[in-house]
Amino acid sequence: LKMTEEEYIEKRVNDQIQWYSKKSAINKNYHLSTRGLVIVFAALIPFAAGFITEKTIQLNYVIAVLGVLTAIFTGLSELLKFQEKWIEYRITSEKLKHEKILFKTNSGPYNRTLNQFKFFVSRIENLINKENSAWSQHVKKEN
């Protein structure tokens, strides 16, 4: 199947830009949420400890739960690499957007190329492949 420039840009490039942008936003939200919760829980521990008396000894349970939650959210954030994914997905999305603009405006490397569309496809697929390879290496490293 042969694709036109418009089809390729719409079905491949724009789709990938949208996917990476969406994944970046999701991971940014997860990262900021988990980090925010860790800050709040960690700050509440000494605050709650200041109210412990013989009559409020049950606050020890609250402090213990806050400590456990702090450890859980810190661990999840580190394990699931929300910040790293957020940054990598954003970088890939921005590189794809940049390449698309260069191609559409016949700028940069495209103003010196005979077959601009083939060159564009090659560069786009290379960017996507680099991200996929980096992800694959990351998964292998964790196993």
> 9 vs 2, 68, 95, 111, 116, CA distance in Å?
13, 48, 14, 18, 13
Under the banding of pLDDT at 50, 70 and 90, the label for residue 132 is confident
pTM of the full predicted structure?
Answer: 0.85
- Positive or negative, the CA dihedral 118, 121, 123, 129 is negative
pLDDT at 113: 84
